[in-house]
């Protein structure tokens, strides 16, 4: 088996250019460890890169990526709870000040759920069970359409972010940190084609474009 050559080529370029720029940061991080203030829960989608979107370097974001940027509710059952383990470390170990659940447009996980809502297992041995986490989001969207968008895919993406934020506070240590004011929870949504980031207002639960003036002035 050969390691992909384009990755090795890219690594060579990174070592000579990108890494040189952050060499001191890496050295500092290696000695003192990481202390990111922000955790991002994002989708695995290759088009959504949290470090790129927020223009941050090594050591600045603690990121977990999974299919459809979902947070499961707190469970004390047996099993390998990968996302929950990352959340536990971020909050209890790193003591992050913010958790951002970042969804995105054209999400394949959300699309799979919408198209196979009656038969989620049809979408894969693991994916089907995983995206069932969206079921409460679909129910709450149907019962109380906070933001009834004309675009059902977008509405489901928003609802999934809201549900993940609700699930976050089912973790006792998160509820406690939020109550004590040491942790804030945020929702965001990224549009792949335009690069637009929308941030959720925590009171109205509606999404609005972030910093459009800054985007315009940079263009
Ligand atoms: Zn996705």
Question: Tens digits of per-residue pLDDT, 148-205?
Answer: 566 999 999 999 999 999 999 999 999 999 999 999 999 999 999 999 999 999 999 9
Rounded alpha-carbon distances, angstroms, from residue 59 to 26, 76, 137 = 8, 30, 32
| Contact predicate 201/208, CB 8 Å | yes
Distance CA 38, CA 183 (A): 10
Domains contained in the chain, CATH given: 1-33 (no CATH), 34-218 (3.40.1050.10)
Helix (H) or strand (E) holding 168: helix 152-168
Predicted pLDDT of residue 16: 95
pLDDT value at residue 219? 43
Q: How far does the centroid of ligand 1 lie from the alpha carbon of residue 30, in Å?
A: 32
- Per residue in 13-32, pLDDT (tens digit) is 999 999 999 999 999 999 99
For residue 23, how far is its CA from the centre of ligand 1 (angstroms)? 32
Cα–Cα distance list, 94 to 22, 62, 116, 134 (Å)? 22, 9, 38, 28
Calculate how far, in angstroms, residue 52's C-alpha sits from the geometric centre of ligand 1. Answer: 16
pLDDT band at 125 (very low <50, low <70, confident <90, very high): confident
The per-residue pLDDT for range 35-60, each reduced to its tens digit, is: 999 999 999 999 999 999 999 999 99
Mean pLDDT, the chain, whole residue set:
91
Residue 14, classed as helix, strand or coil, is: helix
Residue 46 CA to ligand 1 center (angstroms) comes to 9
Sole residue written with tokens 């109550």: 179
Contact 137, 114 (CB under 8 A): no
Helix then strand then coil, in percent of the chain rounded to 5, is: 50, 15, 35
pLDDT at 73 over 50: yes
Please tell me the predicted confidence (pLDDT) of residue 142: 79
| Average of per-residue pLDDT across 60-64 | 98
Distance CA 55, CA 120 (A): 36
pLDDT, position 192: 97
């Amino acid at each position: 088996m050969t390691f992909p050559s384009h990755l090795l080529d890219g690594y060579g370029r990174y070592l000579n250019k990108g890494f040189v720029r952050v060499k001191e940061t890496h050295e500092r991080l290696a000695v003192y460890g990481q202390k990111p203030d922000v955790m991002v829960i994002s989708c695995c989608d290759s088009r959504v890169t949290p470090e790129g979107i927020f223009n941050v370097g090594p050591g600045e974001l603690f990121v977990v990526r999974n299919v459809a940027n979902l947070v499961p509710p707190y469970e004390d059952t047996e099993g390998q709870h990968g996302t929950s383990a990352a959340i536990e470390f971020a909050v209890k170990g790193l003591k992050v000040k913010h958790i951002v659940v970042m969804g995105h447009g054209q999400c394949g996980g959300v699309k799979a759920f919408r198209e196979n809502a009656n038969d989620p297992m049809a979408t894969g041995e693991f994916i089907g069970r995983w995206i069932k986490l969206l079921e409460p989001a679909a129910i709450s969207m149907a019962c109380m359409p906070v933001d009834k968008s004309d675009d059902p895919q977008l509405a489901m993406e928003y609802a999934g972010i809201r549900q993940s934020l609700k699930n976050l506070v089912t973790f006792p240590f998160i509820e406690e940190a939020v109550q004590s004011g040491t942790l804030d929870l945020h929702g965001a949504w990224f549009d792949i084609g335009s690069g637009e980031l929308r941030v959720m207002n925590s009171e109205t639960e509606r999404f609005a474009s972030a910093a459009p003036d800054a985007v315009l002035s940079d263009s």
